[in-house]
Chains A and B, each alone.
Chain A
Amino acid sequence: MDELVRFDGAAKDYGTKTIGPLSFSVARGSIVGFLGPNGAGKSTSIRLMLGLMRPSYGEVRLRGLDPVKHHSRALQEVGYSPELPNLQTFLSPVELLTLVGKELSIDAHELKERIPRLLETIGIAAYSDTKIGKLSKGMVQRLSVAQALLGSPSLLILDEPMIGIDPAGVVHFRELFRGFVSGGGTIVMSSHIMSEVESLCSSVMLIHSGRIVSKGTIKDFIESSLGGRTVRVELGPHDDSLLGKIRAIAGVLRVGASEGGLDVAVEKGRDLRGEISKEVVGSGVDLLSIGFSRSEFDDAYVSATRSEVD
C-alpha cells in the first residue's frame, strides 16, 4: 500500500465553522508538513486521521481502513504525539510506556527491554521513575514522542513535536525523525516552526480557514506563493554594474541590493544559481556565498496566508 493516509472530501462541521472538505493523500516514505495558522484545521485533520473524530461528510482512510469503524486495525503501526501532550501526571515515564505497551499488545518481557532503550534514545532515561507531573514541559514533550515510537510504528503523526524542546533536543529529534524515514517510515507533522518543516519535510500542505490552499514540495510551495524563488548572493566589494549584468540573465525578475549582497528574484521553475555565480566571478567580484534565501519559506507562508485572507 503506497498511500498510508487518504482524505476524500472529508470535512468536519463544528456548527460555527467547517474544516474541509479536504482531499489529499500521504505516500509511504514521505515527511509531510501541515502548515497553517492557529485554528486553520491542522489538529482537526490529525484527529480525523486517528479516528478520534468522525468526518461530518467525506471519507478518511488510514492504512486503507476507516479509522473510526476499524480503529484497532487502522491504528496498528501508527504512533501519535499530540500537541501540548496531556499525559497522566500520576504515572512515571516507565509506567506510562508500560501502559501504552499493553495497549499495543507488546509482550511484557519485550517491554522491559524496549522501554529503557527508548527512554535512553529520547534523552529522559534519568527521569524514568519521576512522576510525569514533576517533569518539565520539554521532558513531557520528549516522553510524548517516546510513547509514539514505542510500537515501532511505520507512520508517525506528530502535532507540533518540537514545542518546548531545547535546541540540542531539536537537533537530536531531527536526526531521529530522519533516521525513522530512512528506515522506511512515514511522518505527518504539523508545526509552526517553519525552519523545522523546511529542514525535515519532503512536502508541505498549507491549511487555511479549513481548506487546503497549497500542497506539494517546498520548492513548489515557495514558487506558487511567491511567483518564483529568491537567490541570496553574498558578495565582496562591488559596483552597481554587476546588478545590471545579473538583471540581464534570462529568467531574472528583479535584483535588489541588500546588506552585504544581492537578493535576486528568479522566475518560477528556474534555478539560476549557476548563471549568477558565473556572472559574479566573471566580473571579478568575490562570491562569498550563494543559495536560496533563508527567509523565502517564511515569506511564502505569509504571502499564501495573506492572499487567502485578502
Chain B
Amino acid sequence: MNLAKVWAFAAYEVRRASARKKVLALVVITILLDTVPYYLLRTSRLSVVPPTDYPYLWVTGVFVLQGFFFPFIALLISAGSMSEEYEQGTAEVLLSKPVSRDEFLCGKFLGGFILMSVVIILNSILTVCAATFAFGPQLALQVLPLVALAQAFSSLVFLSVAFLSGELIRRSSLSYIVASAVFFTSYIVGLYLRVIFEFTGDPLYQTFSLYLPTTPVSSLPLLLGQSQLPASAVSILQALGVATAEKSALFSVALIAVYALCAFGAARTYFNRVDVSKKVT
C-alpha cells in the first residue's frame, strides 16, 4: 500500500466532509454546547456550584458530551464517506487511476478519523477556554491529552459502523438512518439493561450491557481520566450523573478494537468484492 496515496485520500476526505453543511452545523453546535452553558452558569451566578469546584468545571464539557454527542458526530462524518461518493458519482474518476481500492478505502476512513479527532480536540480546547473565562484558571489539565486520545480512540466504533453502513447501503440518507439506529438502539437498550439490573440484581443484564457498542465508547475516557482527577472533579461528574458502566479500561479498549476492526474489515471485504457503482441517484 502506497502511504502517500492513502494520505492524499485522507486529506481529500477531510476537505470533502468539511465542505458538507451537516458536519459544519455539528461543529457549530459543539462550539455552542461547549461555551454557552459556562456563560449561562456565570451570568446566572448559580449557587449550586461551590467555589471549590470552579477549577475543575472543565470536566463537565469534556465528559458530558462524549457519550452521546461524539458518537453522533462520528456517524455524520462517516456514514456519507463512501455513500456520497457513489451518490454523486465521484468515486468513478478517483478509482479509474492507478490506485488500489485499499488505498482509497483506508484514506477515506483515516480522513474521517482525523476530522473526528479535530472535533474532539476543538471540544477540549473550547471547554477549557470557556471554563477559564467563566470561572477562572482550571486545574488538573494534565489529564486532558489522555482523555482526548481515549475519546478519539472510542470514536472508532461508530466511525467504522457508519462507514460500513455507507459502503453496504450506498445511499447516504439511508446509511445515516441505519447507523443512527444502531447507536440509539445500543444506547437505549443499555439504559434499560442497567435499570433492570438495578431492580433485579441479576448480573446477566449488566454483563449484556457491557458488550453493547455504546458502553466502552462512553466508559473508556472516563476510566482513564477518573483515576488522575482530584476528588472535587470526580464529585462534579457524579453530580452530573456521568458514570462508567465498565470497570476495566483494558476490556473497553479490546471491545472498541473488536467493534472497529470487525466493521472496518467488513466494509473493506465488501468494497473489494463489489463493483464501483455508477451515480446512484
Show the binding face of A for B, using Cβ within 8 Å: 43, 47, 50, 52-54, 71-76, 78, 80, 82, 85-91, 99-100, 102-105, 144, 147, 151
B8 touches A71 (CB 8 A): no
**Please, how many residues of chain B have a CB less than 8 angstroms from a CB on the other chain?**
25
What residues of chain A lie closer than 8 Å to B100, measured between beta carbons? Answer: 71-72
* Chain B min CB distance to A163 (Å): 15
Q: Contacting chain A: which of B50-58, B70-78, B89-97, B181-189?
A: B89-97
What residues of chain A lie closer than 8 Å to B99, measured between beta carbons? Answer: 71-72, 75, 103
What residues of chain B lie closer than 8 Å to A86, measured between beta carbons? Answer: 88-90, 92-93, 279
16 example contacts (A-B, Cβ-Cβ < 8 A) are as follows: A43-B278, A47-B276, A50-B96, A52-B92, A52-B95, A73-B98, A75-B96, A76-B98, A80-B93, A82-B93, A82-B96, A87-B90, A88-B90, A91-B15, A102-B4, A105-B2
What residues of chain A lie closer than 8 Å to B19, measured between beta carbons? Answer: 90
What residues of chain A lie closer than 8 Å to B90, measured between beta carbons? Answer: 86-88
Q: Which of B228-281 contact A (CB under 8 A)?
A: 275-276, 278-279
B92 touches A82 (CB 8 A): yes
Is B12 in the interface zone, CB < 8 Å from A?
A: yes
With both beta carbons as reference points, the residue of chain B lying nearest to A12 in the complex is identified as B275
What residues of chain A lie closer than 8 Å to B2, measured between beta carbons? Answer: 105
* Chain A min CB distance to B87 (Å): 9
Q: Roughly how many angstroms separate A90 CA and B18 CA in the complex, as a whole number?
A: 10
Residue among B2, B94, B96 with the highest chain A CB neighbour number at 10 A: B96
Taking A47-B275, A52-B275 as given, write out 11 further A-B residue pairs in contact, using a Cβ cutoff of 8 Å, ordered by the A residue number. A52-B92, A54-B275, A75-B99, A80-B96, A86-B89, A86-B90, A86-B93, A100-B93, A103-B97, A103-B98, A105-B2
Q: Roughly how many angstroms separate A91 CA and B16 CA in the complex, as a whole number?
A: 9
Show the binding face of B for A, using Cβ within 8 Å: 2, 4-5, 8, 12, 15-16, 19, 88-90, 92-101, 275-276, 278-279
* Chain A min CB distance to B157 (Å): 28
Q: Roughly how many angstroms separate A144 CA and B92 CA in the complex, as a whole number?
A: 12
Task: Classify the secondary structure of A's interface with B.
Answer: loop
What residues of chain B lie closer than 8 Å to A147, measured between beta carbons? Answer: 93
B98 touches A72 (CB 8 A): yes
* Chain A min CB distance to B195 (Å): 45
A103 touches B8 (CB 8 A): yes
What residues of chain B lie closer than 8 Å to A50, measured between beta carbons? Answer: 96
B101 touches A52 (CB 8 A): no
* Chain A min CB distance to B112 (Å): 16
* Chain A min CB distance to B263 (Å): 24
A90 touches B98 (CB 8 A): no
With both beta carbons as reference points, the residue of chain A lying nearest to B92 in the complex is identified as A82
What residues of chain B lie closer than 8 Å to A52, measured between beta carbons? Answer: 92, 95-96, 275-276
What residues of chain B lie closer than 8 Å to A80, measured between beta carbons? Answer: 93, 96
Q: Roughly how many angstroms separate A75 CA and B101 CA in the complex, as a whole number?
A: 13
Q: Roughly how many angstroms separate A76 CA and B279 CA in the complex, as a whole number?
A: 24
Q: Roughly how many angstroms separate A43 CA and B92 CA in the complex, as a whole number?
A: 12
Q: Roughly how many angstroms separate A100 CA and B5 CA in the complex, as a whole number?
A: 10
With both beta carbons as reference points, the residue of chain B lying nearest to A75 in the complex is identified as B98
What residues of chain B lie closer than 8 Å to A144, measured between beta carbons? Answer: 93
What residues of chain B lie closer than 8 Å to A103, measured between beta carbons? Answer: 5, 8, 94, 97-99
What residues of chain B lie closer than 8 Å to A74, measured between beta carbons? Answer: 98
With both beta carbons as reference points, the residue of chain B lying nearest to A159 in the complex is identified as B92
What residues of chain B lie closer than 8 Å to A104, measured between beta carbons? Answer: 97-98
Q: Roughly how many angstroms separate A236 CA and B279 CA in the complex, as a whole number?
A: 55
Q: Roughly how many angstroms separate A147 CA and B96 CA in the complex, as a whole number?
A: 11
A87 touches B93 (CB 8 A): yes
Q: Roughly how many angstroms separate A289 CA and B275 CA in the complex, as a whole number?
A: 52
Q: Roughly how many angstroms separate A72 CA and B281 CA in the complex, as a whole number?
A: 28
